[in-house]
Chain A
């Protein structure tokens, strides 16, 4: 009994580290495959479209909702502290520094991570990937690196979209209760903002994109066990990439504070 437990713990720890090891190897192969011809341009555009522009409505909606919620919630708190004039600044800062990037990362990991995990997983269980290897097409290059690169490039842009729609809806929500022009709202909101408040959080989402791409592709390509495995891969892609995004955010926020002081 005890031995079984120890055995299970041991195998759990071993598989934990094995997972990271395999992920590292996978990342290395994808990065190696990404450099050098042939450039899978058409596939990259297709992935960028499905990850980027097709996620736009979802991300913009999420950002807008965040902006409205921030406006509604903080107005009450700020009024209590007699700092209502700070409302635009609170909405803008909250969105561009943290809410925008994290909401975008989580939304995309949910939508894209699940898609990649399920797509690659089903390709794996239906042995399409094996067929690809046989026909001298590097699946790491054609399938993985294009998706990872698309995630890397699209996440910052989606974050910008989330920020913009969040600030706009935040303004609308604010101006409905307390009329002010968009110009004044932006002026007040950005008055104390610096580029260090704006650009590093945008670039940070490229890391989120890498996490989504690598984790989802890895989980999809190591799928085992038929359709059940495909479902597991889709779920684990979303769960793991969301988890890693939040964990990475902790490190990234601290990193930005140190390297880009505002």
Chain B
């Protein structure tokens, strides 16, 4: 190996190291690629240094070249960055530069967001918008405030909880209105009494002259009155006597149960007073006009009205007077008809009562 060859080999080898080193380091500084410069103004660069990374989409695409303090107190710190040409496709005028940190205490770098597709391209020397960096000390301060407020919040909650506790304790002990409501039986009793009184008041109202007419026309005051003394059908034995009346003559209006010409019942009443009877059934039917349901109620109402009249005006055992509302019945004429069918005591066994109240008369001898 000649000395010249040896020297040449040495020189070439070491220069190759030099070239490799220069390019490996230089490529990081974007020294050998065409770049363009972009600026961003920050109020505070949070320790960003010259030569720091500029990342686009998380990739190293540039270097911070210069950080300049403003020359006026109301100015901003200008960060100049050299970016590779390739980033021109994604960085637009509305891209935003943000100073970020690798981990909590790591190196600072600038991250530039992608722009919108429609925005204008960046030109050399353009200034883009910036985002204030997260300052660790600020972060710690805010976290501290947050913890403080959380603490007072918890204290408030504790207060609320203790209030609730005392409230529930008072309720349990029967103190206060709610406590009394829950624990005091007298309240319930009073409410109950009040309800009873109300029912009585309502009853009184029914008899009040203003409302009396309505109930009188209807023939009954309570729906339960209608069937209180009703029986399903007549006894099978032969009646002692039957009184028949035309509906139009004894009732004021075709669709009401209010009686007129009450004197008509004098004969029947006298007969019942005079003779010992086992059962007297007031059988009422109405004409074919109107709805079936309403007519049935009307017939029951009319029967009840007749029975009430007899019970009120004659001295007789009203428990033995029963009603049957037949409702619509063919061949009774438009006004309907009423019958008082009287049975002797021996032949007055009847079928089961329809009414809920039942009737002692059903067990007549």
For chain A, which range describes its interface: under 10, 10 to 19, 20 to 34, or 35 or more residues?
A: 20 to 34
Interface status of A69 (Cβ within 8 A of chain B): no
Taking a contact as CB atoms under 8 Å apart, the answer to whether B24 and A164 are in contact is: no
Residue ID in chain A nearest B3 by CB atoms: A49
Chain B interface category by residue count: 20 to 34
Q: Does B155 contact A (CB under 8 A)?
A: no
Knowing A45-B7, A52-B11, A262-B51, say if A190 contacts B17 (CB, 8 Å).
Answer: no
Residues from chain B with a CB closer than 8 A to the CB of A197 are 25
B319 contacts the other chain (Cβ, under 8 Å)?
no
The interface residues of chain B lying within 8 Å CB-to-CB of A45 are 3-4, 7
Tell me, rounded to whole Å, the shortest Cβ–Cβ distance linking B247 to chain A: 111
Taken residue by residue from 240 to 252, chain A's Cβ proximity to chain B (1 for < 8 Å, 0 otherwise) reads as 0000000000000
**CA of A186 to CA of B17 in the docked complex: distance in angstroms?**
13
Q: Give the segment of B26-34, B39-47, B230-238, B271-279 that binds chain A.
A: B26-34
Answer whether residue A129 sits at the interface, using C-beta atoms and an 8 A cutoff.
Answer: no
Minimum C-beta distance from B70 to chain A (A): 21
**A135: Cβ under 8 A from any B Cβ:** no
CB-CB under 8 A from B4, the residues of chain A are 45, 49
CA distance A155 to B13 in the complex (A): 14
Using Cβ atoms and an 8 Å threshold, which residues of chain B touch A158?
Answer: 14
Q: Give CA–CA (A48, B11) in the complex, Å.
A: 10
Which residues from chain B contact A54 at a C-beta distance below 8 Å? 6
Task: Specify which of A53, A56, A191, A192 lies most central, judged by the most chain B CB atoms within 10 Å of its CB.
Answer: A53
A1 CB to nearest chain B CB (Å): 58
A3, CB-defined interface residue at 8 Å: no
Instruction: Across the interface, name the chain A residue whose C-beta is closest to B10.
Output: A53
A53–B11 CA distance with the chains assembled, in angstroms? 8
Given A53-B10, A164-B17, is A190 in contact with B3 using a C-beta cutoff of 8 Å? no
Q: Which of chain B's residues have a CB closer than 8 A to the CB of A161? A: 10, 13-14, 17
User: B18 to chain A: which residues have CB within 8 Å?
Assistant: 156-157, 160, 202
Q: Is A195 an interface residue (CB 8 A)?
A: yes
- Given A52-B11, A160-B18, A186-B24, A194 and B51 contact (CB-CB distance below 8 Å): yes
Shortest Cβ gap from B28 to chain A (Å): 7
A198/B6 in contact, CB under 8 A = no
Task: Report the minimal beta-carbon distance from B236 to chain A, rounded to whole angstroms.
Answer: 113
Task: Tell me, in angstroms, the Cα distance from A199 to B263 when the chains sit together.
Answer: 140
- The reply to whether the CB of B22 lies closer than 8 angstroms to some CB of chain A is yes
How many A-B contacts at CB < 8 Å in the complex?
Answer: 66
A204 to B280, CA, bound (A): 142
Could you mark each residue 43-86 of chain A with 1 if its beta carbon is under 8 Å from any beta carbon of chain B, else 0? 00110111011101000000000000000000000000000000
When distances are taken between beta carbons in the complex, the residues of chain B under 8 Å from A198 are: 21-22, 25
Q: Is A193 an interface residue (CB 8 A)?
A: yes
B169 at the A interface (CB under 8 A): no
Q: Which of A23-53 contact B (CB under 8 A)?
A: 45-46, 48-50, 52-53
Interface: B15 (CB within 8 A): yes
B7 near A190 with CB under 8 A, answer no
Q: A193 touching B7 by the CB < 8 A rule?
A: no
Query: CB-nearest residue of chain A relative to B50?
Result: A261
With A160-B18, A193-B25, A194-B51 as contacts: A52 and B13 at CB distance below 8 Å: no
Question: In the docked arrangement, what's the CA distance between A172 and B13, Å?
Answer: 20
Q: In the assembled complex, which residues on chain B have CB atoms less than 8 Å from the CB atom of A49?
A: 3-4, 6-7
Interface pair A199/B22, CB less than 8 Å apart: yes
B11 touches A190 (CB 8 A): no
**Known pairs A49-B3, A157-B15, A158-B14; A190 contacts B25 (CB<8 A):** yes
Do B14 and A48 have beta carbons less than 8 Å apart?
A: no
Q: Measured between alpha carbons, how far is A46 from B22 in the docked complex, in Å?
A: 29
A46 contact set on B, CB distance < 8 A: 3
Give Cα A262–Cα B18 distance, bound, in whole angstroms. 18
Q: Is B9 among interface residues, defined by CB-CB distance under 8 A? A: yes
The minimal Cβ–Cβ distance linking A155 to chain B, given in whole angstroms, is: 11
Are B31's CB and A160's CB within 8 A?
Answer: no
User: How distant is the Cα of A199 from the Cα of B51 in the complex, in angstroms?
Assistant: 16
Closest A residue to B60 using CB positions: A191
Beta-carbon contact of A56 and B10 below 8 Å: yes
A52 touching B25 by the CB < 8 A rule?
A: no
Contact with B along A191-221 (1 / 0, CB 8 A): 1111101110010000000000000000000
Do B10 and A157 have beta carbons less than 8 Å apart? yes
Taken together as a complex, chains A and B put the C-alpha atoms of A194 and B14 apart, in Å, by 20
Q: How far is the CA of A199 from the CA of B26 in the complex (A)?
A: 11
Residues on B with beta carbons closer than 8 Å to the beta carbon of A194: 25, 28-29, 51
Q: Tell me the smallest distance from the CB of A250 to a CB of chain B, in Å.
A: 25
Residues from chain A with Cβ under 8 Å of B29 in the complex:
194-195
List the B residue with the shortest CB-CB distance to A191. B28
In the complex the two chains form, is A193's CB within 8 Å of B28's CB? yes
Cβ-defined contact, A157 with B14, below 8 A? yes
Interface residues of A in 167-204 (CB under 8 A from B): 186, 190-195, 197-199, 202
Select from chain B the residue with minimum beta-carbon distance to A56.
B10
Instruction: Contacts A45-B4, A49-B6, A160-B18 given; indicate if A195 touches B25 (C-beta within 8 A).
Output: yes
Give the complex CA separation of A164 and B10 in angstroms. 13
A158 to B18: give the CA distance in the assembly, Å: 11
A49-B4, A161-B13 are known; give 4 further A-B pairs, CB within 8 A.
Answer: A163-B21, A190-B28, A198-B25, A202-B18
Interface residues of B (CB under 8 A from A): 3-4, 6-7, 9-11, 13-15, 17-18, 21-22, 24-26, 28-29, 31, 51, 107
The 9 closest A-B pairs by CB, nearest first: A53-B10, A157-B14, A49-B3, A160-B17, A160-B14, A49-B7, A164-B17, A53-B6, A193-B25
10 A-B pairs, CB-CB below 8 angstroms? A45-B7, A49-B3, A50-B3, A156-B18, A158-B14, A160-B15, A193-B28, A194-B29, A195-B31, A262-B51
